[in-house]
Structure formats: C-alpha cells, structure tokens
Amino acid sequence: MMNLTFVNTQEWIRLKFFQTVIYLSFVFILFSYLLSSLSFSENQRLIVDFGLAGVEISSLFVSIFFSSYVLHKEIERKTILVILSRPIPRWKIMISYFLSLTLLNTLLITVLSVTLLAFVFKSVQIDSYIFSILNILLKSLVIGSIGLFISNVARPLFTVVLVFSYWLLAYSVDDIQYFAKKNQMIDGEWLNYFLNYTVPHFYEFNWKTYAFVKSPAILKEVLWSIIHLCLWIVFWLYSASYLFKRKQIV
Amino acid sequence: MSSILEVSHISKSFQTDFYKKPVKVLNDMSFKIHKSEFIGLIGPNGAGKTTTIKCLLNFIFPDSGKITFENDLDQLSWKKKLGYLPERPYFQEFLTGLEFLQLHWSLAGQKKIDFILRADEVLKMVNLEHAKNKKLKDYSKGMLQRIGIAQAIIAYPSFLILDEPMSGLDPDGRILIKDILKKLKQNQLSVLMSSHLLEDIEELCEKIIIIHAGEILFSGLTSDFKKNYKNLEEAYRAFKKDLIGHQS
C-alpha cells in the first residue's frame, strides 16, 4: 500500500497542475507581504490573514482536484486494472489515494506556512500558528475524503462542483441556520438538525486569522476540532472504500 | 485433470442509459480451465471476451452464475497465483522498468530481498535487461508490451490472463512476444489469452473457446476445430459461414 502511495504522490508532484498551485500560492503570500505595506498599524494582520487564506485555498484546490480526478484518471488509462489484479483489497487502494493526498498537502502546506512564518515570526504565537496550519490540513483532508467518496459515482467535473459546494456549505451552516430562524422557516428545526449531522462544522474552526495566531491557543478547542475533523475523515473514507468495493471497473 | 478455474452459467448485462433496457453481454457462459492448459479466447469485437476476463478478475460482477477458483480459494488468495496483462496497457511512465517491476513485486506481497534475482531472471526472459534503468516513457510499444508481460509473470503466477497481448505490434514485436509465450508454455503455466490473430492462437493454444454475442459457440481442442481444414483461419471462416446460414 505504501508503494502505491509513493507512486501516486510522485505522479501528482510531476503534474503541471500541482507545480502551478505551489507557484501561485507563493505569489499570493509574497503579494500579501507587499499589500501589508499599505497599512501603517495592521501590516502583520494583513500578511497573516491573506497568507493563511492563500494556504487554505491552495490546499483546497489540491484536495478537490486530486480527489475528483485520481480514480477517474486511473480507470481511463487502465493503470487500475493491473493494480486490481494484485492480491490487495480495494479499500487499501482507496486508503493509498488518501495517503497520497495527505503527503501532497502536507508538503504544500509545510512549504507555504514556513515561508509565511518567515514574514510574521515575531508577531505570532508559534503553538497557535501550528494549530491553525494543522486545522487547514485536516479541513483539506476532510474535503479530499468527500471527493474520493463522490468520485466513485460521479464524473470528475461534477465531483469538483459538488465538493466545492460542500466546502462552502461547511463554512455557511451557521449563516443558513441564522437566516432560517430569522425568517421563521417551516421545518427550520429539521434543517438545523440535518445540517448539524451531515456537514462538518468548518465555521466553528475558522482559525486562519491574525486574532487566533497572535494569542495562546485554547487546548480544549483545538482538541475538539482535531477529533471532529478526524471523525469526518474516517466517516467519508469508510464510505468511499465501501462504494469502491462495489464499483464495477468497466 | 483438476481444474484451476471453473466458470458456470455466468451472465452479465450492462445498462447503457438509465431509460434503456440493459444490454446482455454474456449469456449463460460456462467453461473450465485445467492446469498447464494454453487456451485461446476468440471472437469478434464486442463478443464478450474482455467482459469475460473482467468477470474472472472481479473488476465487474456477474449478474448470475458462479466462478470457482482452484480448491475454492477466495479472490485475494487466487490473485496471488495470477498474472494479468490488459489490452493496450498504460503504465506509470515516470518509473524505470526495474522500479515498475518492484512496484508489482511488492503489490503481489513478495519479499523485498528476493526481488533483484527474480527481476533479472524475468527481464532476461523478455529481453529487456538493457533497458531496465530506462524510464517507461522512453520504451517503444513492443518494449511496453514485454515489460507488461514481465510484470504479469514476476510474482511466480500459476495462471496468466493476457488480453490481446499482440494487438498493435509490428511483426518483429509479435515474434518476440510469441517467443516469450512459448517459453512460458514450457514452464507449465496455465494461460488464457484473448486475441483476434488466429495465426497466433493456432501456433500457441492447444484449446480454444469461441465466443459470439456473449455465448460460447465452441470450446475444445484446436486440432478438433480445424481438423477438416488447412488452418484455423479457414476453419473459423467456415464456422462463421455456417453460423450466419443458421441464423438467417
């Protein structure tokens, strides 16, 4: 399984898409440094807010595109056929895709966050900064595992759209619940209930901000976010493996 | 003689569009493969050859019927004894020949320590020793087909499934692949090979299975099939003529 993971990772690192994402994210972080010179008092805030948003967006892009295309690409090129003819269970293949995504995003996020840290080293709490970065990584992996699940049944472009919508929803659950309550929507309770149990609560852990990284982290919150996001990853990965086990490779 | 694979009454349909009726691709198909047999799967395009192979490999699941492996083995245990070469294979082109074989060696669950010896043996067999450190993107089509055969046989399989191993190759490439297959035949491997090239089937396979529209029309010795004719091609031509005559 690990060999398969490394081969997949190698293949994606060689893709122009991945290299372009790294390049653009670098440009984004450098741009945030230039932008900060426009402000006299809040330049650190600008660098951190823009920089961390750049890290999250780039990892989101990699997650969405990797998870939507990896299986489709393997089936289209028939590379999956020789792998499936080997004595490895299908769930291990799905896990190897997930591990490849984890390696890719860890590499991407590490490179970008270390670069960003070089600009804001003096004004952030290192532990909070690390937790914020870990949070971005885990969110990208939740999105990746949902993508792997959907890619079993949908075409890549449709998967991209669905996963992106899901990511937006995960950040907007509280807004939707607020508006449902304000408009006294019928079945608003049910909507609350439904959203609470079907969508991860990204809005609760929106820690890519200067306010979060400049103050000491609250360990209880951090722990809760890690458990919450890991459980979502396990759930979607299990579902993706279940679907893949039943998928007919025509 | 003990069978290493028994296919009994499998059928398979595909839904092309959700509002259309499913199309039957395999219809009540049954056959057996015994140890050390070299079997050719013949049929026109769309007859169901690749679908049959995909059912055997569990890529797709038959709607009905049963596939039993040697000694009632489960799929994973059976796959340990299996080698497979797909039609027009595409491999990870950034790997070298040796890295590619190593990947399949490890996927087959073999011990790392024995790899180099076995890789040398297999590369020699497919005549690719000189190219083992070249990247697959620099391989010609014939070389890719040969490295494909190398990955199929690297983990000491007792049963090989080859889907159109000679398709799209030039005469030299075909001769090379045929020579490799003849060597495998000497090693007492069981082989199921699908092909459109009757000349190759005649040269290599002692048994043939003829499929048409998802049904087996003939299953038996190649010599029996062509006994009144000069070669397999003539016999096949006459057989098809008869079939069309019956159908009309």
Task: Say yes or no to pLDDT of B1 above 70.
Answer: no
From chain B, the residues in CB contact with A85 under 8 A are: 57, 79, 82-84, 161
From chain A, the residues in CB contact with B58 under 8 A are: 84
Tokens read off for B128: 């690719």
Identity of the residue in B61, B86, B92 whose CB atom sits nearest the CB atom of A248: B61
DSSP string, B185-197: HHTT-EEEEE-S-
Instruction: Judge if ipTM > 0.90.
Output: no
**Interface test mutation site (partner B, options A75, A85, A245, A248, max chain B beta carbons within 10 A):** A85
Q: B153 and B181 in contact (C-beta within 8 Å)?
A: no
**Interface test mutation site (partner A, options B59, B74, B159, max chain A beta carbons within 10 A):** B59
What is the Cα–Cα distance from A21 to A62, expressed in whole angstroms? 8
CB proximity A153 to B under 8 Å = no
Distance from CA of A232 to the nearest CA of B (A): 29
Distance from CA of A88 to the nearest CA of B (A): 7
Residue B40 CA: distances (Å) to CA of B63, B95, B112, B183: 24, 32, 34, 17
Is B108–A87 a contact, with Cβ atoms under 8 angstroms apart?
A: yes
> Rounded mean pLDDT of chain B?
85
Distance from CA of B118 to the nearest CA of A (A): 18
Q: What chain B residue is nearest to A6 in terms of C-alpha separation? A: B103
Cβ density class A164-201: b for 16+ within 10 Å, e for less: bebbebbbbbeebbeebeeeeeeebeebbeebeeebbb
Q: Report, as an integer, the average pLDDT of B116-133.
A: 87
Tokens read off for A98: 């997930």
From chain B, the residues in CB contact with A79 under 8 A are: 90-92
B36 pLDDT band, cuts 50/70/90, is confident
Q: How many helices (H) and strands (E) does chain B have?
A: 9, 9
pLDDT at B248: 59
Torsional sign, CA B121, B122, B126, B131: negative
Distance from CA of A103 to the nearest CA of B (A): 19
pLDDT at B86: 87
Identity of the residue in A4, A77, A250 whose CB atom sits nearest the CB atom of B107: A4
The tens-digit pLDDT sequence of chain A (250 residues) is 788 888 888 888 888 888 888 888 888 888 888 887 777 777 788 888 888 888 899 999 999 999 999 999 888 888 888 899 899 999 999 999 999 999 999 999 998 888 888 888 878 788 888 998 999 999 999 999 999 999 999 898 999 999 999 999 888 888 888 887 787 766 667 777 788 888 888 888 888 887 777 888 788 888 988 999 999 999 999 999 999 998 888 7
Is B80–A87 a contact, with Cβ atoms under 8 angstroms apart?
A: yes
Cβ density class A29-46: b for 16+ within 10 Å, e for less: beebbeebeeeeeebbbb
Is B79–A85 a contact, with Cβ atoms under 8 angstroms apart?
A: yes
Q: What chain B residue is nearest to A8 in terms of C-alpha separation? A: B92
Size of interface A-B (CB pairs under 8 A): 69
Is B90–A3 a contact, with Cβ atoms under 8 angstroms apart?
A: no
CB proximity B59 to A under 8 Å = yes
pTM of the model: 0.88
CB proximity B64 to A under 8 Å = no
pLDDT at A235: 94
From chain B, the residues in CB contact with A77 under 8 A are: 90
- Chain B stretch 94-123, residues whose beta carbon is closer than 8 A to a beta carbon of chain A: 94-95, 102-104, 106-109
CB proximity A3 to B under 8 Å = yes
Q: A154 and A162 in contact (C-beta within 8 Å)?
A: yes
What is the Cα–Cα distance from A152 to A145, expressed in whole angstroms? 11
| DSSP 8-state secondary structure symbol assigned to residue B131 | G
What is the Cα–Cα distance from B192 to B160, expressed in whole angstroms? 6
Phi, psi of B32 (to 5 degrees): -125, 150
Tokens read off for B246: 């019956």
DSSP string, A137-182: HHHHHHHHHHHHHHHTTS-HHHHHHHHHHHHHHHHHHHHHHHHHHH
Distance from CA of A23 to the nearest CA of B (A): 22
pLDDT at A160: 93
Phi, psi of A41 (to 5 degrees): -100, -25
Is residue A85 classed as helix, strand or coil in its secondary structure?
coil
What is the Cα–Cα distance from A62 to A66, expressed in whole angstroms? 6
What is the Cα–Cα distance from B161 to B144, expressed in whole angstroms? 17
Task: Say yes or no to pLDDT of B226 above 90.
Answer: no
CB proximity A76 to B under 8 Å = no
Is B95–A7 a contact, with Cβ atoms under 8 angstroms apart?
A: yes
Q: What chain B residue is nearest to A89 in terms of C-alpha separation? A: B76
- Of B221, B227, B224, B162, nearest to B197 (Cα)? B162
Q: What is the pLDDT of residues B76-106, one digit of tens each?
A: 888 888 889 888 777 888 889 899 999 989 8
pLDDT at A15: 83
Q: Please give the span between the terminal C-alpha atoms of chain A, in angstroms, as a whole number.
A: 23
Tokens read off for A1: 């399984």
* Beta strands per DSSP E along B48-163: 64-69, 82-85, 159-163
Distance from CA of B23 to the nearest CA of A (A): 14
Residue A17 CA: distances (Å) to CA of A21, A22, A161, B88, B217: 6, 9, 18, 27, 50
